Amino acid sequence: MEKESSGFFLSAVKGVGLAVISMLFGVLVFAFIVKLTALSSGAIKAVNQFIKITSVFCGCFFTLKGKAGLIKGVIVGLFSTVIIYLIFALIGGEKVFGTGFLLDMLFGAAIGAVSGIIAVNTRGKE
């Protein structure tokens, strides 16, 4: 039983790590593009959400397999969103806890849940 729980959490931690790294990379590349062009704030928000969705999906798809895709996906989506939100709040000097933070957490958890279900049902068993 201990082997299963350590594998469960290890795959979730790997997923969070991959999601955070891919989000940081995606935002860095997009910041470079924004610097070169003049995009509206609406377009920037939409692309940032797309980066978040893609990153959480990649974090789930490439690390999760076996059972409990819903739970693992929620963990990946929730924790990666919280970590990224805190990193950018610290960089930007913004207040951390607000309505936007709660909505981002719920959005990340929902994307993670869907991604986790897709990941464990399309990849091989452990």
Q: What is the pTM of this model?
A: 0.87
Report pLDDT for 107.
93
More confident residue, 15 or 91: 15
Residues 76-97 pLDDT 10s: 999 999 999 888 888 877 776 7
Mean pLDDT value of segment 97-115: 89
> What's the total number of domains in the chain?
1
Q: Compute the residue count for the chain.
A: 126
Residue-averaged pLDDT of the chain = 87
pLDDT band at 101 (very low <50, low <70, confident <90, very high): confident
Could you tell me the CA-to-CA distances from 49 to 16, 54, 68, 126 in Å, in that order?
17, 9, 25, 31
Domain that holds residue 50: 2-122
